[in-house]
Amino acid sequence: MNDRIRAPQVRLVGADGQQIGIVSIQDALQRAQDLDLDLVEVAPQANPPVCRIMDYGKFKYERDVRQKEARKKQSRTGLKEIKFRPKIDPHDYATKKGHVTRFLQAGNKVKVTIMFRGREMAHTDLGRRILDRLVSDLGELVVVEAMPKQEGRNMIMVISPNRRHLDGLAKQRAQEAKAVGTAVASEEG
């Protein structure tokens, strides 16, 4: 940047993005100073190096804003865990199924654990039935990522949200919101 550029000649690009051509470093620095801007080396490996006249502070700020936006848009898929027992009450099952649905709609994977105690270990088929029932109840919302497997006293299954189904729900909600907005606007008018 500016006085740190060591090449005797540079290929200069103006502040508006227009090619100026190959000029001496003194001439390029003078043009940047006349516009009260900085001379920034954008391609040092080129022959001659490519320099651009720009406001370096503004450039750094905009780059940081773009990086921050990119980090926001990255999807962070968490892994949530929910635990069931083989002899779960129907109401408790419905409540926990609601939690699983909420986790999936938020875009998280869910680790479903069936915990066996004592003599329940002889009836692992009850746990398998609960997992199968959960998957069938959730239907298109879920994709089974790891089939149920026994690990010690627990039976574990990992499920993840079905992206296509979630995208469809989002579109449907957007259309409903738009319809409600137009209905409210027509009532006011």
DSSP 96-124: HHHHHHHHHHTT-EEEEEEE--GGGGGGH
- The confidence band for 6, taking pLDDT boundaries of 50, 70 and 90, is confident
Six-digit token pair at 102?
């909420």
- The confidence band for 76, taking pLDDT boundaries of 50, 70 and 90, is low
Q: Which range has the worst mean pLDDT, 2-6, 156-160, 179-183?
A: 179-183
pLDDT tens readout for residues 141-161: 888 888 889 988 999 999 988
Share of the chain above pLDDT 70, in %: 92
Identity of the residue numbered 158 = V
Q: In the 8-state DSSP scheme, what is residue 140? A: G
pLDDT for 183: 65
**Backbone φ and ψ of 100, nearest 5°:** -60, -45
Residues whose CB is less than 8 angstroms from the CB of residue 185 and which lie 6 or more positions away in sequence, other chains included:
none
pLDDT tens readout for residues 104-148: 888 888 999 999 998 888 888 888 999 999 989 988 888 888 888
CATH of region 79-167 = 3.30.110.10
pLDDT tens readout for residues 22-49: 888 888 888 888 888 888 888 888 888 8
Within this chain, domains 2-56 and 79-167 share the same CATH topology: no
pLDDT for 111: 93
- Picking from 165, 176, 171, the residue whose alpha carbon sits closest to that of residue 142 is 165
pLDDT for 179: 77
d(CA 15, CA 55): 8
Q: Which CATH class is domain 2-56?
A: alpha beta
Residues whose CB is less than 8 angstroms from the CB of residue 146 and which lie 6 or more positions away in sequence, other chains included:
156, 157, 158
Q: In the 8-state DSSP scheme, what is residue 21? A: E
Domain residue limits, the chain: 2-56, 79-167
